[in-house]
Structure 1
Amino acid sequence: MYEPAGPLGRKRQRIFSSVSALAVVGLLIAIGMRLQTSGQFDADKWAIFLHWGTAKFLFDGLVSTIMAAACSALAAFALALPLALGRLSTRAWLSRLAGAYIEFFRAIPLLLLILFMVIELPALGFDWPALGFLVFAMALHHSALTAEVVRAGILSLPRGQREAALALGMRPSQAMLHVVLPQALRSMLPALISSLLAIVQDTSLGYVIPYDELLHRSQDVSSYAPQSLLQAAFIVTMMYGVISAVLLYLKRWVVRRQRRAVARSAAKRAGAGSADAAEDLRRSQLVVKTDRLN
């Protein structure tokens, strides 16, 4: 169990945080000075990115990245739900089959899975574009990861929710569909956003196909202008960082909204409890007054 730090512990944490921040700032200054010495801030190395054609070229790569991430996320989330329900099934064969799928595709590195799809599927007659191979491989891998997130969200709910639904006459499938899943999906939404962020970042592995996504476009730029290799990597990192920052902000917004909803619900329950207590006190006083009159 975690215990909140006392005054001495908080003082130590502030000291460690200050020392760590100073160390990070010093490291960044040292890196900047090293880059300045090697001429990485020279105008000729950044000039290519001031052309509209280069900006449009990289923006088209960003669009391709978002398209691959969206398709992969839809396919992965669509597969994750039945996989999680299969893993939780009371039928042993179904639970073992879903568990084998999840463990198998979680264990395979995504890069090797993408390469396998590109090499083996065309030999079997699947003449897909590069986007199809990338989405298929990412859907298989991330569906296994997301299925565990969904399963954990379902198991985190109190058992009384399902038991109450069954007591009302619902079948187990109806209780899962109408009672358990809506609450579980609401509670696991921040984790699903984190899964989406991982999918966006993993689209960069599409450069090995090659799929014309953002990282592959930056390699094309650095091939055309070798002196701007580090600059291209920096700009692409910033573009990925913007997408990641948007998703992280969305995740924090969802978490804050859920906390406010929980606080409002607790306040309503407390208000209802106070009203009931006041009503009980009023009734007891009325009874006492009646007894005195009698």
Structure 2
Amino acid sequence: MSSVLYDAQGPRAKQRNILLTGVFLVAAAAVLWWVYASLSDKGQLDWEKWKPFFSGTEAWTTYILPGLKNTLIAAALSMLIALPLGAVLGIARLSDHRWVRVPVGAVVEFFRAIPVLILMIFGLALYSEYSSVSSDDRPLYAVVTGLVLYNASVLAEIVRAGILSLPKGQTEAAHAIGLRKTQTMVSILLPQAVTAMLPAIVSQLVVVVKDTALGGAVLTFPELLASANTMSGYYGANTIASFTVVAVIFVALNFSLTTFAGWLEKRLRNRKKSSGAVLSADDASLQGAAGTTV
């Protein structure tokens, strides 16, 4: 069947596609078998490598759960600070005053252009040189600082784009009824833009959770991924098992965050659809009768 987007395949095209699909499946199976054989030869698939995670709680209480706790603390603090800061910066970039719009735009573009790892390293150096933060807490402070500066700048652009995507008639109607710009932004534009921005905001929050691993790789921050390295050395170089467990935990965290965001977005959309008042049959008949009287 042909359509506007593509033409129907002929007999030769169908045979060629079947042949290419078969070749791809054979190649994928060969690669998977090679990976399995390599891991098996090196003993990474032996039960002894995976046993610490399924028989006993030492691996969880000593390595995984403390690392997960530090990851959640760093991610939660970064989100709580970056979200309102990003909203303020994004709204400030839309200001009518040039003395507000230009400096804020320069700050946002500056921190967006710098890799988050460099921001973490600079943060660690600043806390060690110019603050009284203890050496044990400096990695956490540095990780949160880097994540907040970078992600607040990215969220500022998301907020700005979300507000600009709304029809201009929304703003014009608000001004027509006498609302000031601040009232228009808070009462009309932001509530509508939040629903449209939610998928992009959640994607950035997932990035926050994953980027906490940079602190463990460079700043010795004892987060979840860093605990996998220590755990692997303690249990006889069970590298594949340790990192597989950590990867599954990261996937579960990010999937939970995405699922919650999807539920929240659906709830917000349904609330907007059902925001009108519902009249009963008696009320409707009374209003209809009142409308026919002269």
The one-letter amino acid paired with 2:145 is: F
Q: Aligned residue for 2:41? A: 37
Give the Cα separation in 2 of the matches to 1:20 and 1:149: 43
Q: What displacement does 1:231 show?
A: 1.6
Tell me if structure 1 keeps the 8 A contact 2:83–2:155.
Answer: yes
2:214 counterpart of 1:210: no
Q: What displacement does 1:46 show?
A: 1.9
Give the Cα separation in 2 of the matches to 1:37 and 1:93: 66
Q: What displacement does 1:126 show?
A: 4.2
Tell me if structure 1 keeps the 8 A contact 2:195–2:265.
Answer: no
Q: Aligned residue for 2:56? A: 51
SS in 1 for 2:45: coil
User: Residues 1-294 of structure 1: matches in 2 within 5 Å?
Assistant: 5-6=5-6, 8=8, 22=25, 24=28, 27-49=31-53, 50-57=55-62, 58-127=64-133, 129=137, 130-207=139-216, 208-254=218-264
Q: What displacement does 1:108 show?
A: 0.9
SS in 2 for 1:89: coil
Moved more, 187-196 or 168-177: 187-196
Could you give the per-residue CA deviations for residues 45-89 of structure 1, whole angstroms, max 9, x where no partner exists?
223333311112302211221111111011001110110011111
Moved more, 69-78 or 131-140: 131-140
Tell me if structure 2 keeps the 8 A contact 1:157–1:180.
Answer: yes
Q: What displacement does 1:259 show?
A: 6.7
Q: What displacement does 1:131 show?
A: 1.9
SS in 2 for 1:218: helix
TM-score by length of 2: 0.79
Report the CA distance shift for 1:183/1:24 in structure 2 as closer, same or farther (over 3 A): farther
Report the CA distance shift for 1:165/1:19 in structure 2 as closer, same or farther (over 3 A): farther
Give the Cα separation in 1 of the matches to 2:33 and 2:262: 30
Give the Cα separation in 2 of the matches to 1:152 and 1:212: 36
The one-letter amino acid paired with 2:124 is: V
TM-score by length of 1: 0.79
CA RMSD of aligned residues (A): 3.1
Give the Cα separation in 1 of the matches to 2:41 and 2:207: 36
Q: What displacement does 1:41 show?
A: 0.8
The one-letter amino acid paired with 1:47 is: K
Q: What displacement does 1:113 show?
A: 1.0
Tell me if structure 1 keeps the 8 A contact 2:49–2:236.
Answer: no
Give the Cα separation in 2 of the matches to 1:104 and 1:184: 25
Q: Aligned residue for 1:270? A: none
